[in-house]
Chain A
Amino acid sequence: MVIRGVLLLAFLCVYSCHSARTIVIHSWHSPYISARPLGKTLVLTYTTVPRPIVGIHVEDVWIDELSRYEIQAYSWSDFATGHEVPSMEEVAEVLAAYQFDTLLVTQLSEFKHLNRNISNSQVAIVETRLYEGPSEELYWSLKTETFLVNYIDGEIRRPREGDALEYVETVLQEMMKDGVF
């Protein structure tokens, strides 16, 4: 009995050290648009909760990781000032003016609230979507649950470096599986 308990504890310890920081909930691939190279990619990350803001830090992580795969990627924040979420007209203008092939959008859409009395959370529901640059047509999307630094009382903080990297790597792996990368 004791040995079983020790083994279980050991398993849990090992398992906890390798627990995923990002898990995939749902993925979708358009049946009408076949696999295509990302090409020149514009990366936009933003959230609307608890207030609209562009995630410059996550955009930087995306750019770094895509460049490792020799993808020519640019951050939305390179084309805009401030942290305001852009309108589609603004995005479309940049897509057309700089002849981007793909628009990669990452949106933090929701938090998981665990406590009955406070709105704190550590888990964000994140959607990543790929659009064809010229037509702005969605052809691939992925929904994940991802860890953040504690979100406390309406104050949102950027994810930890390691969590952001793991999130981007997880999404890239899913892209490869689905043949869109």
Chain B
Amino acid sequence: MEINTQSPALPAVIVFAIQALFAQSSIAQVYVEADQLLRVIEDQQRQLEEQEAQIQRQKAALDALRQQVEELRRAIPQDPSPPPRIKNHPPEISPSELEAAIAEAPTDWPGSIQVTGTELRIKIGGFAELDANYDTGAIVSPAEFTTSAIVTSDRTAAEGEDGQTNVSVQVSRLELETKMPWGGRQIKTETTMDFLRDTTIAEPILQLRKAYGQVSDILLGGDLLIGQDWSTFTNLNAWPNTLDYEGPNSMLSLRHPIVRWHRKYHPTLTLEVALEAPDERVFEGAVEVSRWPDAVVAVISQTDRFNFQGSFIVRDLRGSGEPQSAVSDTGWGVNLSGVIDMPGRLAPDFITYSLSFGAGYGGLLNDFPADASYDFYENRLEAIPTLAWYIGYQHWWSPCLYTVATYGLVQQDNFDFQPGFAFRETQYSSINLTWTPTPQWLFGVEALYGTREDKDGAYGSVWRTQFTSRISF
């Protein structure tokens, strides 16, 4: 049979046949794909089930962990306090930071700050102190117990004869220190201020206490200090820890401009030589007209149990009693003072003491009796012989509680030409109880008794009770 390719029915048959053929093939593929999809779904179902089982297992583990944590939490004491270092010095130093704590150790000036980009280090310190006191008699030094300020005659209620209370913050202090290396040497400065410019009133008025610079190993192997500091005649180590800001009447405590060289010749022996400003003279009947500076030499010995200073001062006392002439006398003084640490069962108590004598050095004492008196008839200035001593004993009840008891005496031999109200003698006694709950806070009460006697026998005495709170920074 011949196929007529020209017949119109032929393509339709072919197309139908092809369609039928291909239709058969695509149905089969759909079944295959469906099977594959079913297998994928089954796999995923199994995975889901496995994951769900895993989640359940993790949940169980988590619950177990939670339970353990809760048990641990219950076992921990409530509000565990941090270690002392952490408690007192936030931010916290964790135990693992011992390394850092030790690494920070090699600084020879704790508490100082280095100025960025320089070798200069600065330290700021000081304290805020409140003194509240009650006097039973007339005295005109509210912030300090200056026994020479006890009124001996014509006492008035305004001077406190009927009793007076004073509250003062005048002795509060601000200190600024710097240190800087200089070619193997060290330059040090210190500037300190308080508010005690006028001791006859309780109001604070800013006062410069110290302002000096010091260079180490600069002259003959010693250090050189230039500026305002305590007189070299003074032994600060022998200063008893009275709450009264002044301390014993016989304490040498003048601060003024000085040039001081000092050198340690032995670990226990130091020599100091100084020229000090011829200022702060106290003359009766004459005006100070200074000429030469004071010269001071001091030898200091410090051993395990003893501190001792022997110092000698020579002064050119020059003044004018009448406008047309200046007269002078030579003043001198010797001071022996120090600290004795008590032995055996009395340790760590200690004694502080000072004995000074001479003529024309009274103005260096806390009570600043006159250095010299002017004889109008003879037109001369006479240095006044003076004897001053004190002794103090500090007893420790515990490392944070102590008592200091002191007694001091200042006496002058009066000249016939001195006026009747001239200083003759003062006595100073004190006893306190001081508590130092932290290194930064000191808190105490003190009872003080003082007397003053003049040349003409006029006499005054005062009891003072003082409360002190001092917080240092």
Chain A residues within 8 Å of B, Cβ to Cβ: 15-17, 19-23, 25-28, 30-32, 46, 48-52, 84-89, 91-92, 105, 110-118, 120, 122-123, 125, 127, 129, 131, 136-139, 141-143, 145-150, 152-153, 155, 157, 160, 162-163
Contact = CB atoms under 8 A, between A and B. Distances in A.
Nearest to B401: A19
Q: Main SS of chain B's interface residues?
A: mixed
Contact of B396 (A115, A147, A150, A160): A147
B399 interface: yes
Interface stretch (B76-84, B140-148, B278-286, B453-461): B76-84
B436 A150 contact: no
Interface in B424-473: 434, 436, 439, 442, 470, 472
Interface string B148-188: 00000000000000000000000101000000000000000
Interface residues of B, number: 55
A52 B237 contact: no
Contact of B439 (A125, A136, A152): A125
A8 B171 CA distance: 34
A10 to B, nearest CB: 15
B110 A49 contact: yes
Interface string B328-363: 000000000001010001011010000000000000
Given A85-B105, A117-B236, A123-B399, A152 B302 contact: yes
B348 A122 contact: yes
Q: Main SS of chain A's interface residues?
A: mixed
A138 B398 contact: no
B395 A112 contact: no
Contact of B83 (A28, A110, A162): A28
A21 B275 CA distance: 43
A33 B95 CA distance: 12
Contacts of A139: 95
B102 A88 contact: yes
Contacts of B105: 46, 48, 52, 85
Contact of A116 (B95, B108, B173, B434): B173
A59 to B, nearest CB: 15
B237 A114 contact: no
B324 interface: no
B108 A50 contact: yes
A15 B398 CA distance: 10
